[in-house]
């Protein structure tokens, strides 16, 4: 670890204010000679990183003014002798701990009581995209770390006062502006009088874990066979679509689609061909609707379509007719020619109608299409109290 010139801290009365940190007695001698030979007045602090990996601040503030060279030199030598004694008696385990700190893959930062950086490991320097020299002595907040305040880390002040560790999510903003999602653990170090002297931050990269959780959440809302939104996602989409329909005077329609003869396809050609048929149906449905419409598979051969802002009822019927025609065409699945027509129930949402009532009407319309001979669509505009009568039907021959 080389001698390091740190950032200016405040505005001293003398011409220059320097911070220097170094490790080991030999480097300390070199750094001290550099400071003492300076021709300009300065006010600074010197920190040693001892063999134990701890930060030991000099007992006296090193100052050089006219006539103070010998006094400053004596103070420096006293501190240096203390450092040499510490390094000479440090057990082998201390060196091991320091090596573990530096080579740990978990980014680590030690700051003083004012949250200025006094020690970082290589992993943190790489994460920030900066050298260790550029980080030491500077404010942790200025280098993308969340300040140790409850406004940024809820409850951290209480944990530090109680002597317990705080842990939670906290992002790090690197030098290039990249934001890294991290799990942060913060603890306080105290002196013999119980006063906080340093803060220790240990980070863990949770971006891969959060990515996996997002993928799992996405999988939980999608059908693995057709990659369409599943029943859970359909309910969420319908809830939000109905909320928008209540705020805006736009037509909202829901279509229930069930395949005729799907069980016969499975029994005749096998479940693999049945799966291929469901995938083809999903693609045809998506090709028939707008990008703003939602196509879902609830399970088995049952599909639902949410049509928002489809316009007048005759326009809704035209969309349903297009889907009826498209799905009624034969399928070629691994050299098998399969015919599977749809039965469709299409309903238009009514004011003050809840989700359960709307779904019940859609299912009733779809089953009416099946009872009427299948391969047809039943449109329920909700303008008649009769459960079946008053609905229009369309059929593809």
Q: List, for residues 204-251, the tens digit of each pLDDT value.
A: 999 899 999 988 988 889 999 999 999 999 999 999 999 998 888 788
Q: List, for residues 247-262, the tens digit of each pLDDT value.
A: 887 889 999 999 998 9
Which domain, by its residues, includes 50?
1-103
21 pLDDT more than 50: no
User: Residue 167: which CATH number?
Assistant: 3.30.450.20
Note the pLDDT of residue 63: 42
Determine the Cα–Cα distance for residues 122 and 316; give it in Å rounded to an integer.
63
pLDDT (average), residues 30-55: 44
| Final residue in a domain of this structure, among 189, 220, 251 | 220
| Final residue in a domain of this structure, among 220, 242, 261 | 220
- Number of domains observed in the structure of the chain: 3
Note the pLDDT of residue 133: 81
287 plus 179 within the same structural domain: no
Longest Cα–Cα distance of the chain, Å, equals 110
The mean pLDDT value of the chain amounts to 78
379 plus 256 within the same structural domain: yes
215 plus 235 within the same structural domain: no
Determine the Cα–Cα distance for residues 348 and 165; give it in Å rounded to an integer.
57
More confident residue, 6 or 93: 93
271 plus 202 within the same structural domain: no
Confidence of residue 10 (pLDDT cuts 50, 70, 90): very low
Q: List, for residues 69-121, the tens digit of each pLDDT value.
A: 455 555 555 655 655 565 555 566 667 877 888 888 899 999 999 999 988 99
Q: Is the dihedral of CA 263, 265, 270, 271 positive or negative?
A: negative
Report, as residue numbers or ranges, the catalytic residues.
301
Closest CA to 186 of 173, 196, 200: 200
151 plus 60 within the same structural domain: no
Cβ 299 vs Cβ 334: under 8 Å: no
Note the pLDDT of residue 17: 34
194 plus 232 within the same structural domain: no
Q: List, for residues 119-136, the tens digit of each pLDDT value.
A: 899 999 988 888 888 888
**Count of other CB atoms within 10 angstroms of residue 103:** 10
381 plus 251 within the same structural domain: yes
Using a 10 angstrom Cβ sphere, with 0-12 exposed, 13-18 middle and 19 or more buried, the burial of residue 363 is middle
Dihedrals phi, psi of 260, to nearest 5 degrees: -90, 130
| Final residue in a domain of this structure, among 220, 237, 264 | 220
Q: List, for residues 309-327, the tens digit of each pLDDT value.
A: 877 888 888 999 999 999 9
* CA dist list (Å): 44 to 57, 70, 193: 11, 17, 25
């Amino acid at each position: 670890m080389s001698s390091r010139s740190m950032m200016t801290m405040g505005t001293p009365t003398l011409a220059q204010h320097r911070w220097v940190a170094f490790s080991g007695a030999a480097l300390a001698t070199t750094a001290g000679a550099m400071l003492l030979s300076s021709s300009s007045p300065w006010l600074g602090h010197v920190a040693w990183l001892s063999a134990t990996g701890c930060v030991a601040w000099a007992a006296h503030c090193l100052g050089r003014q006219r006539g103070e060279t010998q006094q400053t030199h004596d103070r420096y030598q006293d501190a240096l002798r203390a450092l040499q004694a510490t390094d000479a008696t440090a057990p082998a385990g201390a060196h091991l701990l320091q090596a573990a700190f530096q080579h740990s893959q978990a980014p680590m930062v030690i700051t003083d009581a004012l949250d200025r950086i006094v020690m970082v490991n290589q992993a943190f320097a790489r994460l920030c995209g900066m050298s260790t020299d550029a980080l030491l002595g500077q404010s942790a907040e200025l280098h993308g770390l969340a300040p140790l305040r409850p406004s940024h880390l809820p409850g951290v002040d209480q944990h530090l006062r109680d002597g317990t560790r705080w842990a939670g999510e906290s992002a790090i903003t690197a030098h290039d502006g990249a934001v890294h999602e991290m799990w942060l653990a913060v603890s306080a170090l105290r002196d013999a009088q119980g006063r906080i002297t340093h803060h220790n931050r240990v980070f863990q990269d949770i971006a891969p874990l959060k990515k996996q959780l997002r993928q799992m959440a996405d999988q939980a809302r999608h059908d693995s066979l057709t990659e369409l939104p599943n029943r859970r996602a359909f309910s969420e989409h319908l809830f939000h679509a109905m909320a928008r329909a209540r705020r805006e005077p736009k037509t909202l329609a829901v279509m229930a689609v069930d395949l005729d003869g799907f069980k016969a396809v499975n029994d005749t050609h096998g479940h693999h061909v049945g799966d291929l048929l469901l995938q083809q149906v999903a693609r045809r449905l998506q090709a028939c609707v707008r990008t703003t419409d939602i196509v879902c598979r609830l399970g088995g051969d049952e599909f639902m379509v949410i049509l928002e802002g489809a316009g007048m009822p005759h326009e809704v019927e035209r969309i349903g007719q297009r889907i009826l025609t498209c799905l009624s065409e034969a399928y070629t699945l691994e050299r098998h020619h399969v015919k599977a027509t749809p039965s469709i129930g299409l309903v238009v949402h009514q004011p003050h109608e809840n989700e359960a009532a709307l779904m019940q009407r859609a299912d009733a319309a779809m089953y009416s299409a099946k009872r009427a001979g299948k391969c047809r669509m039943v449109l329920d505009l909700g303008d008649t109290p009769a459960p079946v009568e008053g609905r229009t039907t369309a059929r593809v021959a």
